[in-house]
Structure 1
Amino acid sequence: MNFWKRLRFYLIGVSIGVVFVLFFFGPRAVSCSYFPNSRALEEAKIYPMSFSEQAQATIQSEGIDSIFLKNELFKRSKITNFGTHEVRATPCRTYRAQYRQEKSYDLVYQMCKKQTIIVELTKVN
C-alpha cells in the first residue's frame, strides 16, 4: 500500500471519529479566562447576587435589568483595585470595577462564599 492510499484511509477514519465524538458529546461552549480581570468578573457572575439598598436604588432609577448587569457590567468592566488588601480580605473579597461604554458606572462588589453582594453601583457623568 503506498503513502497516498494509507493517508486516505487515515483521513477517512479520523473524519468518522470526529463525527462520532461530536454526535455523542455535542458542541461545547468553552471559554478560558486566564487574566485576573476576567476571572474575577466571571466568578462573580456564577454565584447568586444580592444587592445593597444603594445599589437597588440605582438599579431601579436607571432601569438596569439583570441581563445588562450580567452581560455588560460583569463582562466589560475593568477591575481597578488589584494588588490591594481588599482583594485578599477574608471572608469577603471586595472588588472595585469601572464600566466605561455608552453609559459609565462604578461598581463595588464583594465575593463571599458562594454569594456575590453588590455593595455600590453609581452612575458616572
Structure 2
Amino acid sequence: MNMDFVKRLGFFLVGLSIGIVFLTFFLKKKSQETGVYFCYLPDCRTLKDIRSKSMHYSDEAKKQLQQYQLDSVAVTYILTEGDVDFSKSDTKSVPCKTYVVESDYKEHDYIFTVRNCREKAILQKVEIE
C-alpha cells in the first residue's frame, strides 16, 4: 500500500509540473497580447499601484530628470521594471507612503523616491547610483 501512494504521488507531481509550465507560458503570452498582468508579489503590486495613478513631479525631480536626460518613457520603464527596496522605503507614513525604486536604464542605475498617495503618485527625487 505504501508503494501505491508513492507511485500516485509521483504521477501527481509530474502532472502538476507539466500543468504549471503550460499555464506559465499560456498566461505570459496572454498578458503580452492583452496588456493584463498578474501581480502577486509585493514589488509588482506596489509598482502597478504607483503606475495606475496620475504622476506628478517635485521641482527637485524635474531638475534631476532634465540633468540625467530622462523623459516620461524612461520614468515609465523604471516604474515597470524596477525593484522596490522595502528596507529603504517608508511604508507606514501617512497620508502618503514613500517607496524607493531601483532600476537600471541605459547603462545607469537609477534610484527613484516616490510618494504614493491615495489619488496621485509624486516623484520626489532621482539619483544615479
TM-score (norm 1): 0.69
Alignment pair present for 1:104 and 2:106: no
Task: Please state how far the C-alpha of 1:28 moved relative to its aligned partner.
Answer: 3.8
**Post-superposition shift, 1:88?**
2.3
CA 37–82 in structure 1, closer or farther in 2 if over 3 Å, else same: farther
Structure 2, unaligned runs of 5 or more: 1-32
The question of whether the paired residues in 2 share the 8 Å contact of 1:47 and 1:116 is answered with: yes
- Asked if 1:87 is matched to 2:86, the reply is no
Matched, 1:30 2:36: yes
Query: What is the aligned residue count?
Result: 96
Compute the displacement of 1:113 (Å): 1.4
After TM superposition, the runs of 4+ consecutive aligned structure 1 residues lying more than 3 A away are none
Partner of 2:45: 39
Task: Choose 1 or 2 for highest CA Rg.
Answer: 1
Is 1:52 the counterpart of 2:85? The answer is no
Aligned mate of 1:62, from 52, 64, 68: 68
RMSD: 1.9
Which blocks of at least 5 consecutive residues in structure 1 are unaligned? 1-26
Q: TM-score, normalization: structure 2?
A: 0.67
Higher helix share: 2
Q: Please point out which of 79, 89, 97 is paired with 1:74.
A: 79
1:58 partner amino acid: Q
Alpha carbons of structure 1 residues 89 and 32: separation in structure 2 relative to 1, 3 Å: same
Contact kept, 8 Å, 2:110 with 2:126, in 1: the verdict is yes
Identity of aligned residues (%): 20
